[in-house]
Amino acid sequence: MTLKNHPIKENTMAKFIVFGNQKGGIGKTTLTILMATGLSQPPFNKRVLVIDNDNQKSAIRLREYDEKNYEKDQPPYLIRAMSYQQIVASISDIDEMYDYVFIDTPGKLDANLPPESQEVTKILLLTDYLFMPFKAGALNLDATTDYVKILLQAQQHRSSSNRPLMIYGVVNFYKERSRINRELKEELIYLKENIGLSFMETPLKQYISYEYLNTYETMYLPKSNDPANMNFSIFLNEFFKKTQG
Ligand SMILES: Nc1ncnc2c1ncn2[C@@H]1O[C@H](COP(=O)(O)OP(=O)(O)O)[C@@H](O)[C@H]1O
Ligand SMILES: [Mg+2]
């Protein structure tokens, strides 16, 4: 089986976005929920769908937890569990109903399958923007090599379409004045030079408030003095700009 057998996303209006990396615990679900919660509310007011494609169903579970506390309120966006096949089957409806579609994919690749047969790879053929989270100081280049290979394959397969796959690195868990930052800088330069990976300028810093992830309440409060709200507001503004093209 090759990638050629899989449909490339048509020129849909909705933006399909994946925070992807084969490493677990790197912030894929956190970033997905933060962006979805932010963009679905003022001043963005986008029609947002989160598709939980991960077996662990972290996004679904976060929403179920919140639903108990926000009984009376309508959630600002839906979180639905869907397989690749289900996404493909309803892609035109999804495209009509939403502006932003985030797909939370599994961290682990299936060790028994070649890159082109992985569900994650097929999902990348439907994706417009792939944001790859990196953890400052724990960036193990070997561990990401397979994923980068998959990305480049998907990107090449997509390059003939009118919606190429855009790839950005994102630094997560960033701590200011940390010794690991020098190490991180070197690794980022390596990734830029060797695989042409460009990075978001704003890192997502490490803050407790990001751990108390909430699927209802936006952290986009640009006038707040809270450091996490300030960091997130700058981050979301840059993210919004990058995904407007
Ligand atoms: N910027 C951050 N600051 C603090 N904690 C974070 C941050 N990003 C992620 N985390 C925490 O790290 C853990 C793993 O994040 P998660 O989003 O579940 O990763 P993944 O989906 O890649 O497995 C979670 O406990 C989450 O709350
Ligand atoms: Mg996750």
How many Å lie between the centroid of ligand 1 and the Cα of residue 220?
A: 18
Other Cβ atoms less than 10 A from the Cβ of 166: the count is 18
With respect to residue 1, please indicate whether it lies within any of the assigned structural domains. Answer: no
Q: Between 24 and 69, whose confidence is greater? A: 69
Whether cis (ω within 30° of 0) applies to the bond prior to 222 is no
* pLDDT at residue 39, rounded to an integer: 98
Distance separating alpha carbons of residues 82 and 157, to the nearest angstrom: 23
With respect to residue 85, please indicate whether it lies within any of the assigned structural domains. Answer: yes
With respect to residue 2, please indicate whether it lies within any of the assigned structural domains. Answer: no
Instruction: Specify the CATH number for the domain of residue 196.
Output: 3.40.50.300
How many Å lie between the centroid of ligand 2 and the Cα of residue 45?
A: 25
Of all ligands present, the nearest one to the C-alpha of 55 is 2
Q: Between 161 and 5, whose confidence is greater? A: 161
Calculate the average pLDDT of the chain.
87
Q: How many domains does the chain have?
A: 1
How many Å lie between the centroid of ligand 2 and the Cα of residue 24?
A: 7
Distance separating alpha carbons of residues 39 and 49, to the nearest angstrom: 10
**Residues framing ligand 1 (Cβ under 6 A):** 24-30, 58, 107, 172-173, 204, 206-207, 210-211
With respect to residue 75, please indicate whether it lies within any of the assigned structural domains. Answer: yes
104 CA closest ligand 1 atom index: 21
Query: Which region, left, alpha or beta, applies to residue 200 given φ > 0 means left and ψ of -120 to 50 means alpha?
Result: beta
With respect to residue 20, please indicate whether it lies within any of the assigned structural domains. Answer: yes
Distance separating alpha carbons of residues 47 and 79, to the nearest angstrom: 12
Please write the tens of the pLDDT for every residue from 167-178. 999 999 998 777
* pLDDT at residue 144, rounded to an integer: 62
How many Å lie between the centroid of ligand 1 and the Cα of residue 1?
A: 34
205 CA closest ligand 1 atom index: 1
pTM to 2 decimals? 0.92
What is the DSSP track for 67-121? HHHTTTSPPSSEEEE--HHHHHHTHHHHHHH-SEEEEE--SS--TTS-GGG-HHH
Q: Which pLDDT band, with edges at 50, 70 and 90, does 1 fall under?
A: very low
For residue 7, pLDDT over 50 is answered with: yes
Whole domain around residue 70: which residue ranges? Answer: 10-242
How many Å lie between the centroid of ligand 2 and the Cα of residue 63?
A: 13
For residue 210, pLDDT over 90 is answered with: yes
174 CA closest ligand 1 atom index: 1
Per the CB < 8 A criterion, the answer to whether 99 and 45 are in contact is no
Cβ neighbours for 56, distance < 8 A, ≥ 6 positions apart:
106
Please write the tens of the pLDDT for every residue from 123-139. 988 899 999 998 866 55
The pair of three-digit structure tokens given for residue 201, joined into one six-digit string: 């300028």
* pLDDT at residue 46, rounded to an integer: 98
The strands making up 198-199's β-sheet, listed across from edge to edge, are 78-81, 48-52, 100-104, 15-19, 129-135, 166-172, 198-199
Ion ligand 2 residues within 5 Å by Cβ: 28-29, 58
With respect to residue 116, please indicate whether it lies within any of the assigned structural domains. Answer: yes
DSSP 8-state assignment for residue 29: H
With respect to residue 152, please indicate whether it lies within any of the assigned structural domains. Answer: yes
The pLDDT of 91-110, averaged and rounded, is: 92
Other Cβ atoms less than 10 A from the Cβ of 177: the count is 5
213 CA closest ligand 1 atom index: 27
pLDDT above 70 coverage of the chain, percent: 90
The protein residue whose alpha carbon is closest to atom 20 in ligand 1 is 25
* pLDDT at residue 10, rounded to an integer: 61
With respect to residue 4, please indicate whether it lies within any of the assigned structural domains. Answer: no
Lowest mean pLDDT among 16-25, 85-94, 213-222, 223-232: 16-25
Distance separating alpha carbons of residues 91 and 173, to the nearest angstrom: 33
* pLDDT at residue 239, rounded to an integer: 98
